[in-house]
Structure 1
Amino acid sequence: MATMIDCDSNHDIVRFSTELTHQSLSDLCNGDILVIRVPNYYSSIACEKILSNLDSEQKITEKYDNAPELDIYRLGMAYFETRFNKSLLDTYFSSSDKFHEAVEDICYPHTTPLEEFVKDLDDLWPAGATIQTLEDKDMMPGLVRVILQDQLFPPHQDMLTRDVPDLPKKDHPISQLAVNIYLRNFEEGGELEIWDYAPDDTEVKQLYTGAHDFIDRNKIPVSSLTIKPQAGELILIQSSKLHSVRPGTGGNRVAFSCFSAYRGEDKPLTYWI
C-alpha cells in the first residue's frame, strides 16, 4: 500500500488561503499546486442549519443509481450515473429545478454553498463562470453528498471526457477541478486522500479493481497525501488526479460538491456535476 503523508505539512503543493483568489485558481488549474484549502469558507451557523434540515428530511437523499451497494447518498444526480444507463439521461437533465428547490429549502434563510462558490468564480475569473452544457442542455449544477461511517470511497478519477466520450475536442477541459464545501466530517477518519498522479486511459486499465471505475490502491506507484476536511471548509483539487475518501466513525460526512472545467484564461470556467 502506498505511504500516506500529512498534506497539511507540505505548503509547496497545498495552498491555504482566507479566501478564494484568482491566483490560487490559476495555479491549481495549471498544475502548479495540488490543493486549495479555504477554511471557514461557509458559516458554521449555516452548516448546522442545513445539517439539521437534512437529518429531519432523510427521504430526500438517495443512493447513487449505479452504486447502490455503497453507503453513499446524494441529493441531486451526477452525470456519471448515466454513463452506462442512457435511459437516465432524461431524468438527469430534468432534475435541475427540483434540485434547486430542495437545496434552497434546506439552506433557507442562508445562501446555498454552491451559490456562494459560483458567485466567487464569476467575480474572480476574467471570463466569468457559467453552467456546463451538453447538446445545448444545462447540466446539473452540483449535489449534496452524504457518506455514512465506515464507508470507504475508493481511489478514482473524475473526468468529463470519460463520462462523455464523444465530447467535441474544442470542449475538452485543459484541467478539471473537484470542488467540495464541507458541512460536517466524521469525528475520526474521513480524510481526503490524494495522489499526485493522473493515469491515462492505457495506464488506468491496469489499475482498475473491476468495480465501477475504482482503482486498486496497492497498484498506485506513488505515495498519497491526506487532508482532514473541517466543517465550513472549501477544498479544490484536480479531479483527474487519483483521490479517495478514507472511512471514518462518529456521525457522517456531508458536503456540497461540483466540478469545474478550465479551458484557458480567456474562457469561462464551467461547473456541473
Structure 2
Amino acid sequence: MQHSSSTDPLFVAVESESITRADVAGLIAGRLAAIRVPGLLSAARCHAITAALADAPMDRYDESRVFPVVAKFGPAINDHRAAGELRDDYWDAARAADKSWSTLGLPDSPRELCLAAFRTAWPDVAPGRRQGREMHVGIVREINAGLQVHFDDAVREYAGRLLDGDVVAQLAFNIYVRVPPAGGETVLWRRRWQPGDEEQRIPGGYGFDESVTADTQSLTLRPTLGEGFLFDPRHYHTVRPATDGRRISIGCFVGLTDDGRLALWS
C-alpha cells in the first residue's frame, strides 16, 4: 500500500528488483523518498531467521527514553551515546551479539545480509570504522507497538565525527523478516529537523509529538515479507503499531563518506 499527498512529485517510493547505484544516488540527491525491493529475501529464509530468533537472547532499547518498548538483538549506537560520543560499552555489546548469533545455526549473519544487499550497486561497501575499529552492522528489531516520530542524523547526534570518514549523506536500510497481517506501516514526512521543533520534543523520549509534521507531505508504506527498504532517515519518520502479529526487521544505517564509499553501521 502506498499513499502520498500530491505536493512534491519527487517525494515518491520506487520498486526495484535490487538496489542499484542509480537508486542510491537518487535517494541521496533527493530525487526519491524511498526504494523498495520486494522479495529481497525468500519467505523460506525469513521463516528460518524468525524461527532461530526464538532461541536468541533478545534485549530492549533503553526504556527510559524509548517507549513504547522495542525489542532488539544487537547493539544500537544510540543506546551507547553519551554527550555526543560513543561509549566503550558499544564494542562489548557488539562482540556479545556476534557470539550469540553464531550459535543460532544460520548461514548468514545480519552483517552479511546488509552488506550483500549493496555489493552489486556499490562494490566499495564495508562496515564503517571508528578510530580504526569496524562498527557493528545489522540489528534485529521487533517493533510491534510503534515508534515515536523522529529523525536519525549522525552528523547532528555525534560530536565531531561518528566514523573515521566524514558522512556526507545518511540512509537507513531494513529487511522485513516477519510482518503483521495489519498495521506496522512506515510513515515518512517530507520534513527535516528545524531548531523550533525542539518545542515539540517528547519529554524524556527520543522523538517528537506528531504535530511537528503538521501540514507536511507524507508517504505511508506497508512492509511485505522479505522486502528490502531504503530511505533517508533525516526525514521525520515513524512506525505505526501492528494491529495484530509481530513486525521484525534486520537493518542498519548506510553512510556515503567523503571518499565515495558506502559505510554501514548499527
Tell whether 2:156 aligns with 1:158. Answer: no
Q: Does 1:210 align with 2:203?
A: yes
1:138 maps to 134
Q: Which runs of 5+ in 2 are unaligned?
A: none
Specify which of 58, 80, 83 is matched with residue 61 of structure 1. 58
RMSD: 2.8
Q: Deviations over 1:38-92 (max 9, x none)?
A: 000011111101111222x25x111113546532111011111122389982221
What CA distance in whole angstroms lies between the structure 2 residues aligned with 1:88 and 1:169? 10
Q: CA deviation at 1:189?
A: 0.6
Quote the Cα distance in structure 2 between the aligned partners of 1:189 and 1:168.
34
What does residue range 161-172 of structure 1 map to in structure 2 within 5 Å? 161-167=155-161, 171-172=165-166
| C-alpha deviation, 1:252, in angstroms | 1.2
Q: Which runs of 5+ in 1 are unaligned?
A: none
Equivalent pair of 2:114/2:251 in contact (CA under 8 Å): no
Q: Secondary structure at the match of 1:229?
A: coil
1:224 pairs with 2:218: yes
Whether contact under 8 Å (1:8, 1:227) holds in the other structure is no
Identity of aligned residues (%): 25
Structure in which a larger fraction of residues adopt helix:
1
8 Å contact 1:75–1:144 — kept in the other structure? yes
Q: Which moved more, 1:83-92 or 1:10-19?
A: 83-92
The alignment partner of 2:167 has SS state of: coil
Q: Does 1:252 align with 2:246?
A: yes
- CA 1:51/1:136 → structure 2, altered by over 3 Å: closer, same or farther? same
Residue pairs, 1:82-161, within 5 angstroms: 82-84=80-82, 89-106=87-104, 108-112=105-109, 114-125=111-122, 128-148=124-144, 151-161=145-155
Contact 1:93/1:138 (<8 A) preserved: no
Distance of aligned partners of 1:226 and 1:41 in 2 relative to their CA distance in 1, 3 Å threshold: same
Scaled by the length of structure 2, the TM-score of the pair is: 0.87
Letter in 2 for 1:100: D
C-alpha distance 7-181 of structure 1, shift in aligned 2 (>3 A): farther
Structure 1 runs of 4+ aligned residues shifted over 6 Å read 8-12, 85-88
Counterpart Cα distance in 1 of 2:175 and 2:257:
23
Matches within 5 A, 1:188-199: 188-199=182-193
Letter in 2 for 1:82: H
Moved more, 203-212 or 152-161: 203-212
CA-CA distance at 1:93 after TM superposition: 1.2
2:41 alignment partner AA: Y
Show the counterpart of 2:41: 42
TM-score computed with the length of structure 1 as normaliser: 0.85
Distance 1:168 1:117 in 2: 19
Q: Tell me the secondary structure at the aligned position of residue 23 of structure 2.
A: helix
User: Is contact 2:128–2:163 with CA below 8 Å preserved after alignment?
Assistant: no
State the aligned residue count: 261
What is the distance in 1 between the residues matched to 2:174 and 2:150?
Answer: 16
Q: Distance in 1 between matches of 2:162 and 2:79?
A: 20
Native 8 Å contact 1:79 1:163 kept in 2 = no
| Equivalent residue, structure 2, for 1:27 | 26
Q: Which residue identity lines up with residue 269 of structure 1 in the other structure?
A: L
The equivalent of 1:78 in structure 2 is 76
